[in-house]
Amino acid sequence: MSKLSAMIAQASAGLSVQQRISDEKWAAITQQCGDEEVAEIRSRIDALRTELSTVEDWDGDTQDEIHLAIAQFARMLELASKAV
């Protein structure tokens, strides 16, 4: 498990399936990111965009979830670039 995956897993510990990681926890994760984690975030965004292109048009729920994940990782990239 990568450092980024471990930080995300720790932040989501104890949350139900319906609950999301808070913005404060995402910001805290971002502050701990180094070059390796930033590269992984970029890779995850690319993978999510690829996945999005394979989702059927009728599956709006899945599209929404992928868009939310892309937006979250994009915010992480923005915060990480300000920290450097």
Q: If you average pLDDT over every residue of the chain, what do you get? A: 93
Whether residue 8 has pLDDT greater than 90: yes
The pLDDT of residue 12: 95
10-58 per-position pLDDT tens digit: 999 999 988 999 999 999 999 999 999 999 999 999 999 999 999 999 9
Classify the phi-psi angles of 14: left when phi > 0, otherwise alpha if psi is within -120 to 50, otherwise beta: left
pLDDT of 63 above 70:
yes
| Closest residue by Cα to residue 42 from 11, 63, 73, 71 | 73
